[in-house]
Amino acid sequence: MEKYIDTHAHYIDDSFGEDRTELVGRLLSDCVECIVEPATDLATSREILSFAARFDNYYCAAGIHPHEAGSAGPDDVGLIRELIASDARGAKKIVAVGETGLDFHYDFSPRDIQESNFRSNIRLALEYSLPLIVHDREAHERTFEILREENAFDTKVLFHCYSGSAGFAEMLIPHGVYFSFGGAVTSRNSKKFEEIFRTVPYDRILPETDSPYMAPEPVRGTRNDSSNLVYIYKRISELTGTSAEELARIFRDNTGRFFGITI
C-alpha cells in the first residue's frame, strides 16, 4: 500500500492532547510516510521541535503565524533564530520557517504588525536558507508584494492550503512557488481547482491536511488527521487525471525537493 505525505498538520493543537503520541505513532507506522508540522509562535516552535524528536519521519517548521503576530514579544523572532541555529548543529528537524504570512480575513492581529512579522520571518528563512511556508488568506496581492520586496523568492516558497485563483497562481509560478492542497479540494464547490490544476505544474504540488482543521468532505465536521489524506489524494488524482501510484511518487519527490529531506 502506498503511504501518504502530510506537509502541514498541527498535532500540537489541544484537540490532540489525549492521544497525540499514540495517534502519530500509529499513522507513521500504518499509512503515513512523512509529516511536517509548522509552528504558530515561539512556544509551539519549541514544543513541536521536542515532539518531532520522537519520530524519524516527523519534521517541523519554526515561525510566527499572522494570528499570533500581535501577541509575539519583541525578542521572539530572535529566540526562534537561536532555536533554528541550535537545531542546524544537531538534529536538523527544522526544515522550514513558518507558518507565517498575512490573514486579512480574521485580522486577529493589526495588519501593520502582521506585515512586520511576515518580513521578519522571511528574513529568517533567507538567513538560514530555509524554505518559507506562507499563510495567505484574502491578502493575495499584499502577500506577493512583500515577498518580492523582501527577495523571498531567493529561497523556496510554499503557499499552504492555496486559496487563490488560477490567475494568481500564474503570477507565482515563474518565481518557483510551490502550492499545497488539503480538504478544500474535496468540497462540492471545488470547481475552481480544476482550473488551478490545469495551471500549476505537477512538480510544484504538495499534499496537506491542516489537521485538526479542514477535514475533507466525506468526514467534514470531525477532527481531521493525516489518515484523511486518502480522500485528498483521491480527489487530486481525479482532478489531474494522474494515477494514484504516479501521484504518490510525484508528492514524494516534491516534498523531498522542497524541504530538502530524504523520504
> What's the CA gap between 26 and 30, in Å, rounded?
6
> What's the CA gap between 102 and 38, in Å, rounded?
15
Contacts of 124 (CB under 8 A, 6+ apart): 63, 77, 80, 81, 84, 97, 130
Output the pLDDT for position 42.
98
This prediction has a pTM of 0.97
> What's the CA gap between 88 and 138, in Å, rounded?
34
> What's the CA gap between 11 and 211, in Å, rounded?
7
Q: How many CB atoms lie within 10 A of CB 258?
A: 22
Sole residue written with cell 492581529: 109
Output the pLDDT for position 188.
80
Output the pLDDT for position 91.
93
Tell me if 119 sits within 8 A of 69, measured CB to CB: no
Q: In this predicted model, what pLDDT tens digit does every residue of 105-161 receive, in sequence order? A: 999 999 999 999 999 999 999 999 999 999 999 999 999 999 999 999 999 999 999
R_g of the chain, CA atoms, integer Å: 17
Domain boundaries, the chain: 4-259
> What's the CA gap between 185 and 232, in Å, rounded?
7
> Which pLDDT tens digits describe the chain residue by residue (263 residues)?
689 999 999 999 999 999 999 999 999 999 999 999 999 999 999 999 999 999 999 999 999 999 999 999 999 999 999 999 999 999 999 999 999 999 999 999 999 999 999 999 999 999 999 999 999 999 999 999 999 999 999 999 999 999 999 999 999 999 999 999 999 999 987 789 999 999 999 999 999 999 999 999 999 999 999 999 999 999 999 999 999 899 999 999 999 999 999 99
CATH of domain 4-259: 3.20.20.140
Q: Which residues of 237-254 are buried (b: 16+ CB within 10 A; e: fewer)?
A: bebbebeeeebbebbbeb
> What's the CA gap between 190 and 176, in Å, rounded?
25
Tell me if 123 sits within 8 A of 63, measured CB to CB: no
Measured between alpha carbons, how far is residue 124 from residues 60, 61, 79, 100 in Å? 15, 12, 11, 11
Q: How many residues does the chain have?
A: 263
> What's the CA gap between 198 and 211, in Å, rounded?
26
Handedness of CA 184, 186, 188, 190 (dihedral sign): positive
Q: Which ranges in the chain belong to alpha helices (H)?
A: 20-30, 42-52, 76-88, 111-127, 140-149, 166-172, 191-199, 229-240, 244-259
Output the pLDDT for position 1.
66
- DSSP tag of 211: B
Tell me if 119 sits within 8 A of 146, measured CB to CB: yes
